[in-house]
Structure 1
Amino acid sequence: MKSKLLDDGPSKTYALVFDLGDEVMEGLEGFARAQGLDGAHFTAIGAFSDATLGYFDWERKEYLENDVPEQVEVLTLAGDVAENDGEPAVHAHVVLGRSDGSALGGHLLRAHVRPTLELILTETPAHLRKRHDDASGLALIDPSV
C-alpha cells in the first residue's frame, strides 16, 4: 500500500492506494496505528479477488461470515476510524458488484485487492471514542466522550 498526504490542514486528508494482493482491513488498521488516528472517515473504490463480509446477528450477538470467493468490483466502501481501548478501530461497510451486475454488501471483515483499491481518508477534528454497548455486545461510537 502506498499513501500520500493530500491536505495538511486542521483535518488531514490522505490518499491510500492498495496494491495487488494487499489485505484491506489489515492495511487500513496498520495505517491508522502508524498515523495515530483516533477519528477519521473514508471512502474507496476498486476491486477485490475475494472478500469476507459480515452480517450482525442480533440474537447471537456475533457476525455471521459470508465468503465471496470471486473477483468483484468495489462499488462503494465507506467507514470510520475511532479509538477503542486506546487503539484505532476501523469499521467498514462495502457494496460489491458481481460480473452479472448483481450486488451484495455488508460489514467488511477481510478482502484482498485485485488490481487496486483507491481510498480517501479524512481525519476528523474531534476524536471519536467507542464504548461497549450492553444491548448489542459491540463497541459503538459514543459521541458524549
Structure 2
Amino acid sequence: MQGLWYKQVEQGRRFILKISPGESLRQRLVEFAKEVRLDHAVVVSAVGSVQDLTFRGIKAGAKLPVTPPRMHVHELAGPLELLALTGNLLPDERGEIDCHLHVIASRSSGDVLGGHLFDAKVFATCEVVLSEIHAEGVERHLSRTGGIPTVFITDDEPAP
C-alpha cells in the first residue's frame, strides 16, 4: 500500500514500573528494557509528577526535514503533573534501545504543555505501564525525508 507501511505484531509481556524521585525518566526506561531484554515495547500509560522537563515542539510553518532551527526546545523546572506519556521503545540501527516519547504535563495553574520528550526527572513518583510487542524487522532509522529518527519496517512479507 503506497504511503503506508505496516507489520503485524504480537503482544508479549506487560510491566508496571515505579520510578523513584530524582531519577531520569528516559534513562530508567532504557536501563529497565536492557535488564529484562525488552527490545520492542509501547508505553501504555504513565502518571506521576516530573521536574526538569525538556521537550520540543516543531515551529509553526516549519518544512521538512525537521532540523534544530525548525524546533523550539522547552525547559521547565517544575514540578509538573505528568498527565500522559506515549511512545515506543525500539532498537536503532546499532541495536541499541531508542525511546521515542511524547509527554503531556500540567503546571499548577492547570496550563497543559506537551511535545517530544527529551528527558525529565521524576518529582514524587512515576508509574509507567509498558507492553512488549514481538516485532521482527522493526527498528528506528534516521529518515532523510523527515530529518529525524523514525520507524523503519523491513519488507520481508508479501503484501496481502
TM-score, length-scaled by structure 1: 0.85
Name the SS for the 1:141 alignment partner. Answer: strand
1:61 alignment partner in structure 2: 67
1:140 alignment partner in structure 2: 150
Identity level (%) = 27
Deviations 1:23-65 (A, max 9, x none): 1011111112222222100121110122111224555513532
Deviations 1:53-79 (A, max 9, x none): 122455551353200112110111111
Which consecutive residues of structure 2, in runs of 5 or more, have no partner in the other structure?
Answer: 1-10, 156-160
Name the SS for the 1:31 alignment partner. Answer: helix
1:72 alignment partner in structure 2: 80
| Larger Rg belongs to | 2
Q: Residue 47 of structure 2 aligns to which amino acid in structure 1?
A: I
- Consecutive aligned runs of 4 or more in structure 1 exceeding 6 Å deviation: none
Note if contact 1:36-1:88 (Cα within 8 Å) is conserved in structure 2. no
Deviation at 1:110, TM superposition (A): 1.3
CA RMSD of aligned residues (A): 1.7
CA–CA separation in structure 2 for the residues paired with 1:41 and 1:86:
17
2:141 alignment partner in structure 1: 131
Count of residues in Structure 1 that have an aligned counterpart in Structure 2: 136
Name the SS for the 2:12 alignment partner. Answer: coil
Deviations 1:111-139 (A, max 9, x none): 11110000001100224312221112222
Name the SS for the 1:37 alignment partner. Answer: coil
